[in-house]
Structures are given as structure tokens and as C-alpha cells.
Structure 1
């Protein structure tokens, strides 16, 4: 898998932000099934701020850039989503460090760090019906694709497919974290909004990467 530079990191983060804004209603509708319905709104408001200040974000190196994005998200997204998504970006940035390029192995390490940060911040584990139920299998898939010699485009396509499958599988789970956990068994039968949010965003990243030939 070829190395990834600041331009590609910009593409990924900007795509995440735009996808969050574009899917505000969809994510909110998913969350309203068993949650309080504010997930779409909160995520969109936070990433609107990211886009509004896009050109002013410190790009000294990839780690600094991701940490700054995490700080904006934490400050601007309400509820539990802000700390969780902000922590993910900040942990990824801390792991990336002062570098201008990333190898596939480094990206895996960044995702693992983000996962651990989310677990600690949200007091959640895989199987609790959260975004972790997509992030962890997606990270595992990336690691497997790298080991198989896939390039970035192939790895992203595989990750997007894995994410969709994993998100849909959360419909069979009972929520054990967040507002949805208050509904107990009633949370079974609907997908987790955060998990599907990650899947939708990964699908958009895959499309953007193939379109712009960033591999």
C-alpha cells in the first residue's frame, strides 16, 4: 500500500466533514428510532465548523492537523458525539505525530488508537451497539488488506464493504451504551446510528478516493 500524504489526508477529512453535513437528516432519523434524534444535528454542526475554518487549520504536519480538527469537533459538537469523535481524531493525530506521509501500517495504528480512545471516553466495548462495532472490523480489514498487498484504493473499497455489513449487523444487537440503551430489547431491530454513520462516511471516502485517483 502506497504512502499517504497531507493532500490525501485533507481529502479524507474533508469528505468526512461533508458527509456529516449532507447526511444530517438521515443520521438524525436513524438516531430517533431509539435515541434522542440529535446525532445528525450534532455531527453536522460540528463538521460545519471544520469546513468553515478549513483553510486556517494548522498543517505543520499530519499529526498536528488531525489534533486541531479533533479540538474543533470537541468544542463544537454537543452531547456525547463531540467528545467521542473529537477523541478519535486527537488520538489518531497523536499517533501520527510529526510526519508528512503515512504508511498503511501507520494508518492502522492511528485507527487502533482512535478505537481505544473511544472505548475509554464512551465506556463502551465491541458488541455494545455503537460505532465501535464498525470501526474495529474496518480496522481489522485494513490490516488484512495491507498484508495481502492491496493498494489504497483496493483497501478502501474493502473497508467500505466491511463497514456496511458491520453496520447492518448492529440491527441484531441490544444497545448497552448511550440513550438507546434505555430502551433495552426495543433497540433490537434497528441499526445503530453511529455505526451506520461511519459506514456511510466510509462509503463516501471510497467514492472520493476512486474519483480523485488519490492512491
Structure 2
């Protein structure tokens, strides 16, 4: 049985998938500055597979749905993007397995779980110039705004603003993980493509809220 929570969640996942496909060239160009330029390609191919199998995913509860998205991402994306993004979705799935309703606290819990999964899988942390440098402050903003009683639209818009500011700030960092870390100080001066992707996705979700 499809729940209202799963329906809203699947709309958000579909939006994330289509946005990543649409921004393939942009994300790859960002990655080419200090990396190997395949980030956008890998992400787009993975989310194309998600969209291809979308109608067949089990929607009995939010966790089951996210778990199937995670398995597609992990098995169908090359390089490091598959394991990283797949782990993020899988950890988020575990938080809401069997749930029939989702609130702001659940969104925060899913994002926190995703962050911990990314840290463990990729060996990265804040300040290493990765997508974590955008996800973590964005999650902090969502948690604080929810606790203050802000409505969903305001929370989403502020989250997008924080994610964008955080992504832009990664330009000042030296990459310590991924292919970009091989360039050392030459990675300074350009933003991390993963962090920018988080900002773009957060902005798209806020616009569509």
C-alpha cells in the first residue's frame, strides 16, 4: 500500500533523479577542473537507471522504496559515486523502514544517517572538500528551522540557501579525498562538484516545494 509519506518522498527522489540527469554536463565540467570529469556522467547514468525502474519499485513504506533506489545506485553507477550515493540512500532507508508518516524530524534523521554512511564509506569528513561540506550545514539548518516551528516552504528555501553558501565556500578548501586530492593545492579555487550538486538539488526541491 502506498502511503502519503512515500508518495511525497518518491516525488522528491524523482525530482533529484531528473535534476542530476539534466545537469550531467554541468557537473562533469565542474569535476574536470581538478578531477577526472566523470562525476556528472556517473551520476546521470545511475539516476537514469533509477528512473527506468521507478514504476516497479515497492512502495509499501518509505524505507523499502529508498532501499530499492539505493540498490540501483550502488549496482549501476561506476567509480566512487555509486557506493557513496547508494550508501546514503541505504542509510536513509534504514531510518524510515516501516514508517507510515514522515515529518521534519525524520528528514533530519535520514540526512544524518546518510552523512554517517558517506563518512564511513568514503573515509571523508567535514573540511575534506566533498559533498559533506554542503550536506552537513544544510541538515543543521533544517533541524534548527524545524525546531523553531518554521513551515516546510521556509525550511526548504533556507536549506537551499545554506547549501549554496556552503558549496561556494568549498572553493577555499584543498581536496583531501577523491581524484581531486591528487592535485593538492591546485584544487583550491574551484568548488567541489559534489557539494555543488547538493546545492543544485536543494534549490530544485525548494523551487518545487
Shorter-chain TM-score: which interval?
over 0.9
Give the C-alpha shift of residue 11 in structure 1: 1.4
- Aligned counterparts, 1:28-107, within 5 A: 28-107=28-107
- 2: CA distance between counterparts of 1:120 and 1:142? 23
- 2: CA distance between counterparts of 1:89 and 1:101? 18
- Aligned counterparts, 1:180-191, within 5 A: 180-191=180-191
For 2:5, the equivalent position in structure 1 comes to 5
Give the C-alpha shift of residue 97 in structure 1: 1.3
- 2: CA distance between counterparts of 1:142 and 1:204? 16
Give the C-alpha shift of residue 107 in structure 1: 1.2
Give the C-alpha shift of residue 100 in structure 1: 2.1
- TM-score relative to the length of structure 2: 0.97
For 1:213, the equivalent position in structure 2 comes to none
Instruction: Report the 3-state secondary structure (helix = DSSP H, G, I; strand = E; otherwise coil) of the residue aligned with 1:101.
Output: coil
For 1:196, the equivalent position in structure 2 comes to 196
Give the C-alpha shift of residue 124 in structure 1: 0.2
For 1:124, the equivalent position in structure 2 comes to 124
- 2: CA distance between counterparts of 1:10 and 1:126? 29
Which residues of structure 2 form unaligned runs of 5+? none
Q: CA RMSD in A?
A: 0.8
For 1:139, the equivalent position in structure 2 comes to 139
**TM superposition outliers: structure 1 runs of 4+ over 6 Å:** none
CA displacement, residues 110-155 of structure 1 (integer Å, 9 cap, x when unaligned): 1100000000000000000000000000110000001110111111
- 1: CA distance between counterparts of 2:70 and 2:157? 25
- 1: CA distance between counterparts of 2:159 and 2:7? 20
- 2: CA distance between counterparts of 1:53 and 1:15? 15
- 2: CA distance between counterparts of 1:208 and 1:82? 26
CA displacement, residues 68-124 of structure 1 (integer Å, 9 cap, x when unaligned): 100000111110000000000000000111012111111111110000000000000
- 2: CA distance between counterparts of 1:100 and 1:30? 39
Which residues of structure 1 form unaligned runs of 5+? 210-215
Instruction: Report the 3-state secondary structure (helix = DSSP H, G, I; strand = E; otherwise coil) of the residue aligned with 2:34.
Output: coil
CA displacement, residues 148-178 of structure 1 (integer Å, 9 cap, x when unaligned): 1011111110100000000000000000000
Give the C-alpha shift of residue 208 in structure 1: 1.4
Give the C-alpha shift of residue 53 in structure 1: 1.0
